[in-house]
Structure 1
Amino acid sequence: MSYDYRKIYGIVMTNLPKRTKSQKIGVSAADLLSSVLAKFCNVIPVPQDRDLGIDFICEIMEGEHPTGKLFNIQCKGKEESKVESNSITFPVKVTTLNYWLLQSNPTFLVIVDCQNSVFYWSFPQDFLSLLGKSWQNQQTVSISVPIKNRFEQNIITLPSQLVSIVNSQASATPKNGDYLGTLTLANAVNRATDYGLYVLSAPFHRPFQYIGMPIADAARAVSSTPNEVGNIIVDSEEAHMLLEAEGNFINYVDVELKRTAPWSQNRPFDSEAILGVLSINPSELELARKQTHFHTYYDHKRRLKIGVSCHYEGAPLSVGFSSKYYRA
């Protein structure tokens, strides 16, 4: 026998819990994003009673096998955000941002357009690094999510820049068990502040990615135009970047960090901190040679030679990338 408890206890609909519009948007956004990420990752939802600002923990998979590379996702529906010309902004509590920064794995903010099945993502740590420390005195920070950082429901791989960030944040295997001697990206970034430098965002983020790109693709990636010989120059208040062409491809990249000028060739510098400004984890590299004015690294994974140097007296510190002289 079934009972109608609404009649027995005089329950009326207005005395029942409500699911708010914000909750409906959040659930739809999370379900849609989870279904896409599950094609490439083992997606672990964080229970609501343990959710302090992270909705999913994701482990990248290679086929059927886990990689051990983890990242976190905070998911929001587009209706909850403010859309501007080139970006979407979403207010995040400072307490939540601090929680993200404590994580050993990178945390991404993903804005979900459920109506069009489009996803916009941001790595808030990069954005915060441009603000100095003053944001700690605020209640919230409006995190900017670039419109160009997007993927759709039918993607066949995760966005390459997102994967690059995950790889750069991964713990390195220490040599001879020396865990204390293993330098992580976070340590390098912290040391960069001694130079008055902070992590640079795109297009200066991990600039080795342009090596081997066709000139036209590289030009689109950095939103600039090649000159008559195919070279591409990108300037900002913080950096000057040269993408040098050989044939139809980029074969050399050099980034000058303007705030370090003028530097002396006789003045030592912390090259690991300088690499951190470009979101490059020094523990991924081999330090091959070290002179006062020039430090040479090899990136064996990408088969690149990386030089951190002061090219001439009074020049800024710069970082050069080349595959041509790998192991030379």
Structure 2
Amino acid sequence: MTKTAFEKQSSRLKDLKCPIHGMPMKRDEDNHDPDRPFVFRCINAKCEVRGAAKQAIGPITLDDEFAYLVDPFVGQLPLQTHSQERGLRAADIASIALSKIAFVHRVETGSDIGIDFICELRVDRKPTGKMFNVQCKALPVSFDPGETLLSFPIKVSTARYWLEQVNPTILIVADVDSGSLYWQDPVKILENSNREWRIQGEVSISVPKASSFNCFEGPPKAFVDVVTQGIGRVGRSLRERLYTVEKIIDNELDTGVNRESKDVAQLLLQSGSPISEAISVIKNVTEFQGAIFLKIVSMIADISSTVRKLHEDTFRKLHRVSGGKGPFENDPVFIEELNLLNSASGYAAAADVFSNTEQLNEAIDLLHKLESLHRSALERELQFEKRMDNLAELHESGGDCSWVWDDEL
């Protein structure tokens, strides 16, 4: 760019105009950053030129990524943008907090894939084998301090990628100025939403400000509980991947589809092949589904066996410390869950031959219910431990806890 061009663009900026278009720079009314009280943007909606001033009447200093427009020396050196800087600082802050409870592995990629960290929960500096993923975002500069929820638009492809993960995924928002962090379990929100969000371009995830914690203190117990209970997500992951195939069959596939899942599904469903090849494909797909079905049946048998004793123990102990009257076996929830376990055991014992896709979906649904039951049992175990702590405090203060200690828990 010539010296004359730089002078022309600098002159425009002095007049509070965009150095590129010469159009007025308008003050950003949504800005609430105390360090940048007056932020200006070009009124051209397609222009991203932005700067700040100490007074409402200027002068405007362009943000670093646009400084090359008026400074001939800036373009000669590599420059980190303002958003890149905030994003990296947010990730650094999140990493400090996560390192308090887990071994943290940063995902280094050239593009945003929807996961920034892969973590393994640890206890007493030892790995536990419990993995979880983290997506980190920086708190927007324009965020209103009076808001109680932080709302973030998430690409549907990213949201579906989270659902396809066997391990839980946590969304963390970092305030790069204060070191505060906010968190949310986005998978829980997505699972409780209707299916229509999958055909949109984006889905909104809200993070409560009440979830705030300091990066040097580490994530709160509720965060760890979500990670600990985030086991057994195979059923949900399979369900989300089958959704892709279903949409292709119905010719309704638009947005939010993992590229690899789409390619595989289209390859399996491609038309125009000779009849002999089509028959071969159908046979191979059926054999593949059969192998998956038998694997799921095996998982159903293993989980139902594992959960059965945990299910009874947690009900018995929680019933006792809650002062329950009568046999805990009369609890309607206990009976309902026991029926599910009995049904699962019977299903696993009888299901030895695969027949059709409907049977595969039935097995996936049963696996999904067992995984939910397992998480419920773990939640009851946590409730029991919390109540035992409360009773111990009561006992130390002279309270009567004999009704609990009479029986061995």
- For residue 180 of structure 1, report the CA deviation from its aligned partner: 3.5
Aligned pairs for 1:133-172 within 5 A: 133-155=195-217, 158-171=219-232
1:97 to 145, 149, 159: 159
Aligned residue type for 1:182: M
Instruction: Give the equivalent residue in structure 2 for 1:232.
Output: none
Equivalences, count: 211
Aligned pairs for 1:168-317 within 5 A: 168-171=229-232, 180-183=297-300, 281-283=372-374
Instruction: Check 1:96–1:298 CA distance in 2 against 1; reply closer, same or farther (3 A cut).
Output: closer
2:83 to 17, 22, 25: 22
- For residue 181 of structure 1, report the CA deviation from its aligned partner: 3.6
Q: Residue deviations 1:199-219, cap 9 Å, x none?
A: xxxxxxxxx9xx98xxxxxxx
Aligned-partner Cα distance in 2 for 1:275–1:102: 15
2:173 to 94, 103, 111: 111
Query: Do the aligned partners of 1:82 and 1:89 also contact (CA within 8 Å) in 2?
Result: no
* SS at 2:174 equivalent: strand
Instruction: Check 1:276–1:82 CA distance in 2 against 1; reply closer, same or farther (3 A cut).
Output: farther
* SS at 2:229 equivalent: helix
Which structure has the larger Rg over C-alpha atoms? 2
- For residue 39 of structure 1, report the CA deviation from its aligned partner: 2.1
What TM-score does the superposition give when structure 2 sets the normalisation length?
0.43
Aligned residue type for 2:196: S
Instruction: Check 1:160–1:302 CA distance in 2 against 1; reply closer, same or farther (3 A cut).
Output: closer
Aligned residue type for 1:65: K
Q: Residue deviations 1:158-210, cap 9 Å, x none?
A: 322222222222249xxxxx8644359xxxxxxxxxxxxxxxxxxxxxxx9xx
Percent sequence identity is: 31
Aligned-partner Cα distance in 1 for 2:188–2:129: 23
What TM-score does the superposition give when structure 1 sets the normalisation length?
0.52
Instruction: Check 1:245–1:121 CA distance in 2 against 1; reply closer, same or farther (3 A cut).
Output: same
1:74 to 135, 147, 154: 135
Gaps of 5+ in 2: 1-71, 234-294, 302-313, 324-330, 345-364, 385-403
Instruction: Check 1:24–1:303 CA distance in 2 against 1; reply closer, same or farther (3 A cut).
Output: closer
Aligned-partner Cα distance in 2 for 1:182–1:81: 48
Runs of 4+ in 1 over 6 A off after TM superposition: 268-277, 297-300
The answer to whether 1:86 aligns with 2:86 is: no
**Alpha-carbon RMSD:** 4.5
Instruction: Give the equivalent residue in structure 2 for 1:13.
Output: 74
Instruction: Give the equivalent residue in structure 2 for 1:64.
Output: 125
- For residue 65 of structure 1, report the CA deviation from its aligned partner: 0.8
- For residue 48 of structure 1, report the CA deviation from its aligned partner: 1.8
Q: Residue deviations 1:237-284, cap 9 Å, x none?
A: xxxxxxx976xxxxxxx999xxxxxxxx9xx8799989979x973346
Aligned residue type for 2:88: V
Instruction: Give the equivalent residue in structure 2 for 1:46.
Output: 107
Aligned-partner Cα distance in 1 for 2:91–2:129: 23
Instruction: Check 1:170–1:81 CA distance in 2 against 1; reply closer, same or farther (3 A cut).
Output: farther
**Richer in helix (by share):** 2
* SS at 1:48 equivalent: coil
Query: Do the aligned partners of 1:59 and 1:69 also contact (CA within 8 Å) in 2?
Result: yes
Instruction: Give the equivalent residue in structure 2 for 1:130.
Output: 192
Aligned residue type for 2:207: V
Aligned-partner Cα distance in 2 for 1:30–1:298: 31
Aligned residue type for 1:150: S
Aligned-partner Cα distance in 2 for 1:282–1:62: 25
* SS at 1:97 equivalent: helix
Aligned-partner Cα distance in 2 for 1:13–1:158: 41
Gaps of 5+ in 1: 1-10, 173-177, 185-207, 213-243, 247-253, 257-264, 286-296, 305-322
Query: Do the aligned partners of 2:182 and 2:207 also contact (CA within 8 Å) in 1?
Result: yes
**Richer in strand (by share):** 1
Aligned residue type for 1:164: D
- For residue 141 of structure 1, report the CA deviation from its aligned partner: 1.0
Q: Residue deviations 1:76-115, cap 9 Å, x none?
A: 1102685573210111100011111111111111110121
Instruction: Check 1:92–1:32 CA distance in 2 against 1; reply closer, same or farther (3 A cut).
Output: same
Instruction: Check 1:81–1:109 CA distance in 2 against 1; reply closer, same or farther (3 A cut).
Output: farther
Aligned-partner Cα distance in 2 for 1:130–1:299: 19
